[in-house]
Amino acid sequence: MLSLFFSLLVINNGYQVGYVNVSEIQAIEVVDIDDDSGILTITLKGNKSEQLAFKCNDKEKWEQSKEFLVKSIYDLSKIMSNKHLDVKLNKEQF
């Protein structure tokens, strides 16, 4: 399950909890593995070669996490870019 706390993305998959500064995120990838689980991968900005990966084995939590990302993509994008965007974002685009 995911949530935003100020500018931190909180990831909790039941046995692992992660806190990621959203302004340090370059990309977020969501992949369904099978009917009941999936993997959330976060790529950080800069010369960091390692990615953060979280696996969720609970179907309900996985669906909630994907719904959260869809609903929050506009806010996440603004924080990820540090609000210094070359283009004007309109919430209706998302």
> Residue 82: what pLDDT?
65
Two tokens, residue 42: 């976060």
pLDDT tens digits for range 18-66: 888 888 888 889 999 987 889 999 998 888 778 999 999 888 888 888 8
Residue 72 has pLDDT above 80, yes or no: yes
Token code pair at residue 26: 């370059």
Question: Where are the extended beta strands (E) located within the chain?
Answer: 2-5, 8-12, 17-21, 25-32, 38-44, 51-56
Alpha-carbon gap, residue 8 to 37, rounded angstroms:
24
